[in-house]
């Protein structure tokens, strides 16, 4: 709690009805507890560690009298499922809970009329206790009979020395405690990033996370972290269960918020908890950002992962199939296997004692409903090792791209197989840094290696048809595709380079086809096509074929999060060799520049200047700015009106830091003609005059409780 202990809470009592007050959470063996900065005062404790409960009584318990702590979880607590627990004082329950008198705490509970005796109880949750929001009651047995008193406080019980233990403190600091991060998007060749405010310790977020668990039916019967991940994965999207976010890939966001306009998870979770209605709208990175917030808040180490060229297979062939007509034009009505420019999911770290050895570690959690491309709504938890060896979730990260051409008789034949095109540059934010880390080798073997081909064979053996073994890119003639600088509002140059490595001249027929493609891989109709014929001399001769596209030509086709897709197909006249390549081009947009115009102090407004330049040769209309940051009070979204062609806009907005320490403020600017622009600034916040240590809701120095302990229980950090 940032070095400051919360004061006990007291509730009105009638005689012989004890009150409960949470005592401070003892620090763990590793110095992580001081980094947890919940901006309100919940009792959040770790499984496997002891915490203290104060019971106010009118007199000490006499011989023959007893006290029992009762804990219940969920709407229908059951003893058999470990969600209804009775823990006698001085004893343990069959579930592993223990309650012992703690004479090492010597302080009054004060403020409760007629109850002057303080009984402090050390309560320990087992490392396997279900995760969730508990109700805590006290039963007393005296000569007058048995009495029961329920605490009005709600206690979240989660632990350290359990299946989410991580060895490195740096990993724990990043994957559990870090409240801000970066989510990568764009294309394989043009990786972009956006700041994201996870805000797992912000007011109302823990309540929202526990509400999500409750709405999802809780998770008392399975290994808790695995089931928590499954419940959260299902509940973050609204498919079938009225979860947190409504997915929308149509481009029409008039009934809600453009997914690209969100700067973080906090507003989404508060809205869902406050209304109980799904929030409109989300796409993959929004689902993943919210999952990171929820799982980190609940203590599961979680990272946000981006996969480029992420395949979605519609016929379970476990290949990505592209169909061409006789003239080598793409047949988009048949090209239902979409390759997403990027797809964002989560990894969460846990041990899996319920599975055979080797399944511990990162588990893949994907909360994005896949109905936009595959007609199914499956989301859930994948075992990392099965992705690596090719037995599940495989199509996303490692499959062959197979090109089929329509023949004269109407059937299709495989004319080209492109290996290694799927699952590229899998990225996440490095622990303790602001840099992108490539984790592709954690998901699959090196491309072209014997192990990688073995994994591909293992996967395709489970497909709906045998593996296709058509021609690969090997041959006398090679084809590569590329582009010049791709800037929104500017002219675009696309190119194909063909090279003859043979000893004889070769004649090529090339076809260029250009269309807009959503990041989900759904392509529009081709708006530009060209044919070219080239003759290449032998012995390493090469030629470059270019196609230039103006802003006026591509602008009507490119929408939010769209890219341009160039398909180049070539046929060698003399040998019949067929080559094909696809290129995704993301149009670069300017970043927002954020600058603090004064010192940042807790509780004091500070102006922030936002600067950006409109790159388009036309006015930018309907622009609005949204800000979000953990431990920062931000203004509501503000309308900016119209920004002229090429105009530079400077806007000042005031924010108020609420917690001391390092903070990051993220901003997004939404408009009609450009994808939302993003930017962020990181800064340090000084404490206020009252000695604020950075956690609102904590008592001041004068309100700290003096305690003496006989010792601190050991424990390992794990979230």
Does the pLDDT at position 40 exceed 50? no
Q: What is the CA angle 707-710-712, rounded to 5? A: 85
- 9 and 21 Cβ atoms separated by less than 8 Å: yes
Instruction: Please report which confidence band the pLDDT of residue 385 belongs to, taking 50, 70 and 90 as the band edges.
Output: low
Q: Which residues are annotated binding-site positions for Ca(2+)?
A: 398, 400, 447, 452
The predicted structure's pLDDT at residue 34:
32
Question: What is the CATH code for 169-460?
Answer: 3.90.260.10
Nearest to 267 by CA among 585, 668, 611, 565: 668
CATH 2.60.40.10 corresponds to the domain 477-585: yes
Instruction: Return the HEC string of 253-302.
Output: CCCCCCHHHCCECHHHHHHHHHHCCCEEEECHHHHHHHHHHHHHHCCCCE
Contacts of 356 (CB under 8 A, 6+ apart): none
Is pTM beyond 0.85? Reply is no
Residue bearing tokens 């080798």 = 441
Cα 537 from Cα 498, distance rounded (Å): 11
Nearest to 3 by CA among 688, 692, 712: 692
Strand 191-197, strand 412-418: pairing: unpaired
User: 711: buried, middle or exposed (CB in 10 Å: 19+, 13-18, 0-12)?
Assistant: exposed
Q: Tokens at residue 23, please? A: 């005592």
Mean local confidence (pLDDT), 185-214: 92
Cα 351 from Cα 193, distance rounded (Å): 31
- 70 and 33 Cβ atoms separated by less than 8 Å: no
- 416 and 471 Cβ atoms separated by less than 8 Å: yes
* Structure confidence by residue, pLDDT tens digits, 409-421: 889 999 888 888 8
Cα 620 from Cα 615, distance rounded (Å): 9
Q: Say what percent of the chain tops pLDDT 90.
A: 45
Q: Say what percent of the chain tops pLDDT 70.
A: 76
DSSP string, 457-513: HHHHTTSSSPPP----S-SSEEEEEEES--BTTS-EEEEEEEEE-SSS-EEEEEEEE
Which helix or strand (DSSP H or E) is residue 651 part of?
A: strand 648-657
Residue bearing tokens 């990175």 = 285
* Structure confidence by residue, pLDDT tens digits, 54-96: 887 777 878 877 888 898 887 788 888 888 999 999 887 888 8
- 546 and 536 Cβ atoms separated by less than 8 Å: no
* Structure confidence by residue, pLDDT tens digits, 576-599: 899 999 999 999 999 999 999 999
The predicted structure's pLDDT at residue 113:
53
Instruction: Please report which confidence band the pLDDT of residue 313 belongs to, taking 50, 70 and 90 as the band edges.
Output: low
Nearest to 169 by CA among 31, 304, 49, 296: 31
Cα 75 from Cα 220, distance rounded (Å): 12
* Structure confidence by residue, pLDDT tens digits, 248-276: 998 889 999 999 999 999 999 999 999 99
Q: What is the CA angle 687-688-689, rounded to 5? A: 130
- 96 and 129 Cβ atoms separated by less than 8 Å: yes
The predicted structure's pLDDT at residue 158:
36
Q: Tokens at residue 382, please? A: 């994948």
The predicted structure's pLDDT at residue 379:
52
- In DSSP terms, 121 is beta-bridged to 53, 101
Instruction: Return the HEC string of 198-213.
Output: CCCCCCCHHHHHHHHH
Q: What is the CA angle 643-649-652, rounded to 5? A: 125
Strand 19-22, strand 578-585: pairing: unpaired
> Under DSSP, is residue 667 helix (H, G, I), strand (E, B) or coil?
strand
- 425 and 416 Cβ atoms separated by less than 8 Å: no
Mean local confidence (pLDDT), 639-650: 91
**Higher-confidence residue: 517 or 702?**
517
Domains 169-460 and 477-585 share a fold: no
Does the pLDDT at position 643 exceed 80? yes
**Higher-confidence residue: 436 or 520?**
436
Which backbone phi and psi does 206 adopt, to 5 degrees?
Answer: -60, -45
Domain boundaries defined on the chain: 19-162, 169-460, 477-585, 593-701
- 397 and 425 Cβ atoms separated by less than 8 Å: no
* Structure confidence by residue, pLDDT tens digits, 128-171: 887 777 888 888 765 544 444 444 444 443 344 568 878 888 89
Does the pLDDT at position 229 exceed 80? yes
Instruction: Please report which confidence band the pLDDT of residue 496 belongs to, taking 50, 70 and 90 as the band edges.
Output: very high
Cα 567 from Cα 573, distance rounded (Å): 19
CATH 3.30.565.10 corresponds to the domain 593-701: no
The predicted structure's pLDDT at residue 355:
79
Does the pLDDT at position 714 exceed 80? no
Residue numbers annotated as active site: 284, 343, 366
Contacts of 38 (CB under 8 A, 6+ apart): 1, 44, 201, 206, 695, 697
Mean local confidence (pLDDT), 395-423: 86
CATH 2.60.40.10 corresponds to the domain 19-162: yes
* Structure confidence by residue, pLDDT tens digits, 289-310: 999 999 999 889 999 999 999 9
Mean local confidence (pLDDT), 393-418: 83
Q: Tokens at residue 435, please? A: 């840099």
Does the pLDDT at position 209 exceed 50? yes
Cα 272 from Cα 256, distance rounded (Å): 13
Which backbone phi and psi does 295 adopt, to 5 degrees?
Answer: -70, -40
Highest mean pLDDT: which of 343-357, 448-462, 697-711? 343-357
Mean local confidence (pLDDT), 315-334: 80
**Higher-confidence residue: 47 or 192?**
192
The total of other beta-carbon atoms located within 10 Å of residue 249's CB is 18
The predicted structure's pLDDT at residue 12:
28
* Structure confidence by residue, pLDDT tens digits, 95-132: 889 999 887 666 665 555 556 677 888 888 888 887 77
- 636 and 628 Cβ atoms separated by less than 8 Å: no
The total of other beta-carbon atoms located within 10 Å of residue 433's CB is 10
Angle, helices 205-215/224-236, rounded to nearest 10 degrees: 90
Does the pLDDT at position 175 exceed 90? yes
Mean local confidence (pLDDT), 561-565: 87
In total, the chain counts a number of residues equal to 719
Q: What is the CA angle 556-558-561, rounded to 5? A: 155
**Higher-confidence residue: 121 or 535?**
535
Q: Tokens at residue 548, please? A: 């230039």
Strand 661-670, strand 145-157: pairing: unpaired
Which of 12-26, 190-204, 452-466 bottoms out in mean pLDDT, i.e. has the lowest? 12-26
The predicted structure's pLDDT at residue 691:
40
Cα 202 from Cα 206, distance rounded (Å): 8
Contacts of 290 (CB under 8 A, 6+ apart): 236, 244, 245, 265, 268, 269, 282, 367
Cα 66 from Cα 55, distance rounded (Å): 13
Cα 418 from Cα 399, distance rounded (Å): 9
Cα 4 from Cα 478, distance rounded (Å): 66
Instruction: Please report which confidence band the pLDDT of residue 512 belongs to, taking 50, 70 and 90 as the band edges.
Output: very high
- Max distance between CA atoms of the chain, in angstroms, equals 106
Q: Tokens at residue 389, please? A: 């060896």
Cα–Cα distances in Å, from 633 out to 204, 261, 406, 487, 665?
Answer: 14, 18, 60, 34, 10
Cα 582 from Cα 13, distance rounded (Å): 72
Cα 682 from Cα 632, distance rounded (Å): 12
Mean local confidence (pLDDT), 469-474: 52
């Amino acid at each position: 709690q940032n070095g400051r202990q919360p004061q006990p809470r007291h509730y009105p009592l009638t005689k012989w009805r004890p009150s409960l007050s949470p005592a401070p959470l003892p620090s763990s063996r590793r110095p992580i507890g001081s980094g947890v900065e919940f901006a309100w005062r919940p009792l959040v404790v770790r499984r496997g560690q002891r915490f203290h409960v104060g019971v106010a009584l009118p007199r000490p318990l006499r011989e023959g009298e007893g006290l029992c702590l009762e804990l219940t979880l969920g709407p229908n607590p059951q003893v058999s499922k470990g969600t209804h627990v009775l823990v006698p004082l001085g004893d343990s329950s069959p579930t592993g809970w223990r309650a012992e008198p703690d004479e090492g705490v010597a302080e009054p509970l004060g403020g409760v009329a007629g109850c002057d005796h303080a009984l402090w109880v050390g309560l320990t949750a087992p490392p396997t206790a279900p995760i969730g929001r508990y109700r805590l009651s006290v039963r007393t047995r005296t000569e007058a009979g048995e009495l029961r008193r329920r605490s009005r406080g709600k206690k979240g019980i989660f632990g350290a020395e359990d299946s989410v233990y991580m060895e490195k403190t740096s990993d724990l600091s990043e994957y559990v405690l870090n409240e801000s991060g970066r989510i990568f998007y764009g294309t394989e060749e043009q990786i972009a990033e956006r700041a994201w405010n996870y805000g797992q310790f912000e007011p109302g977020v823990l309540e929202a996370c526990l509400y999500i668990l409750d709405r999802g039916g809780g998770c008392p019967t399975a290994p808790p972290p695995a089931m928590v991940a499954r419940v959260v994965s299902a509940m973050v999207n609204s498919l079938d269960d009225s979860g947190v976010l409504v997915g929308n890939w149509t481009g029409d966001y008039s009934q809600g918020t453009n997914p690209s306009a969100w700067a973080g998870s906090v507003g989404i979770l508060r809205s869902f908890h406050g209304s109980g209605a799904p929030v409109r709208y989300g796409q993959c990175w929004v689902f993943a950002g919210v999952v990171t917030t929820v799982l980190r808040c609940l203590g599961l180490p979680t990272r946000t992962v981006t996969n480029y060229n992420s395949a979605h297979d519609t016929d379970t062939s476990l290949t990505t199939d592209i169909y061409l007509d006789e003239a080598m034009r793409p047949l988009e009505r048949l090209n239902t296997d979409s390759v997403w420019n990027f797809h964002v999911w989560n990894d969460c770290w846990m041990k899996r004692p319920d599975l055979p050895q080797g399944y511990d570690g990162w588990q893949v959690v994907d909360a994005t409903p896949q109905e936009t491309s595959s007609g199914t709504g499956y989301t859930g938890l994948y075992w990392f090792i099965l992705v690596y060896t090719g037995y599940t979730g495989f199509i996303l990260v490692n499959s062959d791209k197979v090109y089929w051409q329509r023949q004269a008789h109407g059937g299709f034949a495989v004319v080209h197989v492109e290996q290694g095109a799927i699952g590229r540059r899998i990225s996440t934010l490095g622990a303790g840094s602001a840099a992108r880390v490539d984790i592709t080798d954690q998901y699959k073997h090196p491309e072209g290696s014997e192990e990688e081909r073995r994994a591909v064979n293992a996967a395709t053996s489970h497909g709906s048809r045998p593996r296709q073994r058509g021609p690969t890119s090997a041959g006398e003639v090679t084809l590569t595709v590329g582009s010049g600088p791709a800037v929104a509002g500017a002219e675009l140059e696309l190119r194909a380079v063909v090279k003859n490595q043979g000893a004889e001249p070769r004649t090529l027929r090339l076809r260029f086809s250009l269309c807009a493609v959503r990041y989900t891989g759904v392509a529009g109709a081709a708006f530009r096509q060209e044919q070219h014929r080239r003759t290449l001399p032998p012995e390493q001769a090469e030629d470059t074929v270019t196609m230039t596209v103006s802003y006026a030509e591509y602008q009507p086709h490119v929408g939010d999060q769209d890219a341009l897709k160039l398909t180049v197909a070539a046929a060698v006249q003399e040998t019949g060799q067929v080559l094909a390549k696809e290129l995704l081009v993301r149009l670069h947009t300017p970043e927002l520049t954020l600058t603090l115009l004064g010192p940042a102090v807790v509780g004091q407004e500070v102006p922030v200047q936002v600067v950006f330049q409109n790159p388009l040769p036309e006015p930018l209309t309907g622009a609005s700015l949204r800000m979000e940051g953990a431990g920062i009070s931000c203004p509501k979204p503000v309308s900016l009106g119209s920004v002229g062609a090429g105009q530079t806009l400077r806007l000042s907005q005031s924010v108020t830091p609420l917690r001391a320490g390092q903070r990051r403020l993220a901003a997004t600017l939404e408009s009609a003609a450009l994808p939302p622009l993003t930017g962020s600034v990181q800064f340090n916040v000084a404490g206020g005059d009252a000695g604020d240590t950075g956690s609102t809701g904590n008592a001041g120095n004068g309100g700290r409780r003096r305690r003496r302990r006989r010792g601190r229980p050991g424990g390992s950090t794990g979230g």
